[in-house]
Amino acid sequence: MLAIQRQQIIDLFQQALAPIVAGSDLAPAVVLERPRDPAHGDVACNIAMQLAKPLKKNPRELAQALVANLLAAPGRAQLISAAEIAGPGFINLRLAEAAKQAVVAAVQQQGQRYGQGASGAGKRVLIEFVSANPTGPLHVGHGRQGALGDALAALFEQQGYDVTREFYYNDAGVQIGTLAYSVQARARGHKPGDAHWPESAYNGDYIADIAADFLAKKTVSASDGAPAIASGDPNDLESIRLFAVAYLRHEQDLDLQAFGVKFDNYYLESSLYHDGKVAAAVEALIKAGKTYELDGALWLRSTDYGDDKDRVMKKSDGTYTYFVPDVAYHITKWQRGFGKVINVQGSDHHGTIARVRAGLQAVGVGIPEGYPDYVLHKMVTVMKNGEEVKISKRAGSYVTLRDLIEWSAGEAPADAAGADNGGARDLTRGRDAVRFFLISRKADTEFVFDVDLALAQSDENPVYYVQYAHARICSVFNQWGGDETTLAGVDLAPLTSPREAALLARLAEYPDMLQKALDELGPHQVAFYLRDLSGDLHSYYNAERVLVDDDATKLARLALLQATRQVLRNGLALIGVSAPSRM
């Protein structure tokens, strides 16, 4: 049911209610739902049951009066073919065939805009995701954040929001120091296992690559940073630190590029210290009387804001605990005008939510409770050749996002001489599989990424199943060979079979699904919908022939497929997955 049709039916209900509630102070809100069982109809309403008690009437008799008024309303026949009363007073409506078929024209007219809304017009939202420490390549958990965050941002854009995608670099602290010492050890000729190798050092092959480039006095830069020029001196730890951070930020840029994710802004944790924002946040909390000193440490009274215990802000050695810069960072988000902020992070960040929100409340700058919102995801397990993969040679301790994309892309194609392409490899297939798979479950559920399944060209592979639905429609149009523009405005009356009705209903669900996915911060619902829509398409294709001899039926069915293909494209584009015309 289209939004305009829903409003028209609500208006009909309000007209039908007017004489029934006349003389009372009731102003009932009509809510329409879709029956769980399609056999019960297309639309359900329980307004009669809601009004029975205040009107002191039997709910079923009230429903009968409502239905009588509804069916007598002018223009009803264009929308509603029948109305039935079920149980104690539910009203079930069956849409007219023309009303069901109207979705095809709506999709044809709106094209890429079908499903978009304006509920976010004039509103800003900042979505922070990935936010990896620049201490190594992106891992599969970062990939899940990338898929979730980018799809979530697209959902908000669909509703008219001004969206900023932000990457927060934790480029300060102990881990950066460990990175610098690890590269320095490699630059001095040591390697993992040697007597002089630091116990806490990073052991991946990438550390050796950084050290080699540092000794070669190379220059590297991230997409948003100034170039870092290596001094080449193994004793110059500060130059090593700056070079290593820039090197890995550049590597992460390449990972994100391969994944098809772009950010509008990068924010450095180090800038919070350099600009005095951390010190200012701490001073504001002290002035607000929300801190106290104990055992040489500075504590935040976070229990005043629902935390289970007070938290140390500044340790006895003078260093800040890790949530303090987080508080300062979120103050900057508020000061930059972002009244709505969403953080996509791993579930290991759950413990920081209460203390960050407590700090933001305590600082007293008007930040509301519950700021920011969080989407927390659970871990990803990678399976390949029937076994769990835990370690990447390049990273040394985890599976990288690049590994996953390359594995899921399959073997590199060979040239005429039998050799591979020498690096000119198209990773689109791998990117598509990884992005679709990583949002195909709710964020708060653990996920097993099966590389073998991602490579399978079968109905069991969900991304293949959806993309094949799109390619299958393209194949029908290639066989037809006609002018698609002539399908606009064709008579859709022949679309009356049960499978056609199911496909029409699914297309009409798309805008509501997008709004629901946004409201619940659940982009996985897009993947669910695309699989359901593809299932409807495949069932229809296997049951009905499209290119029949009867022109009216053929054109109507082609128009239906045209609309289905457009919605598949729209949904796939939203989650960053391609829509191939051939497979």
pLDDT in tens, 215-227: 999 999 988 878 9
User: For residue 416, is pLDDT > 60?
Assistant: no
User: For residue 418, is pLDDT > 70?
Assistant: no
pLDDT in tens, 534-557: 999 999 999 999 999 999 999 999
* Angle formed at CA 447 by CA 511 and CA 512, multiple of 5 degrees: 10
Q: In what order do the strands lie in the sheet with 297-300?
A: 291-294, 297-300, 311-314
pLDDT in tens, 491-550: 999 999 999 999 999 999 999 999 999 999 999 999 999 999 999 999 999 999 999 999
Strand partners, 88: none
Taking the CA atoms of 21, 23, 28 and 30 in sequence, report the sign of the dihedral they define.
positive
CA distance 550 to 107: 24
Nearest to 165 by CA among 241, 247, 277, 259: 259
Predicted confidence at residue 196, as pLDDT, reads: 87
The rounded mean pLDDT for the chain is 94
Q: DSSP string of 332-390?
A: HHHHTT-SEEEEEEEGGGHHHHHHHHHHHHHTTSSPPTTPSEEEEE--EEEEETTEEE-
Residue 372 contacts residue 333 (beta carbons within 8 Å): yes
Nearest to 454 by CA among 479, 427, 477: 427
Predicted confidence at residue 422, as pLDDT, reads: 47
> Mean pLDDT, to the nearest integer, of 343-358?
94
Predicted confidence at residue 423, as pLDDT, reads: 52
pLDDT in tens, 430-475: 999 999 999 999 999 999 999 999 999 999 999 999 999 999 999 9
Q: Where are the alpha helices (DSSP H) in 288-427?
A: 323-335, 350-362, 401-409
Number of Cβ within 10 Å of residue 326's Cβ equals 23
373-377 and 447-450 strand pairing: unpaired
Predicted confidence at residue 419, as pLDDT, reads: 45
Taking the CA atoms of 321, 326, 331 and 332 in sequence, report the sign of the dihedral they define.
positive
Percent of the chain with pLDDT over 90: 89
pLDDT in tens, 57-102: 999 999 999 999 999 998 899 999 999 999 999 999 999 999 999 9
pLDDT in tens, 273-332: 999 999 999 999 999 999 999 999 999 999 999 999 999 999 999 999 989 999 999 999
CA distance 325 to 269: 7
pLDDT in tens, 8-19: 999 999 999 999
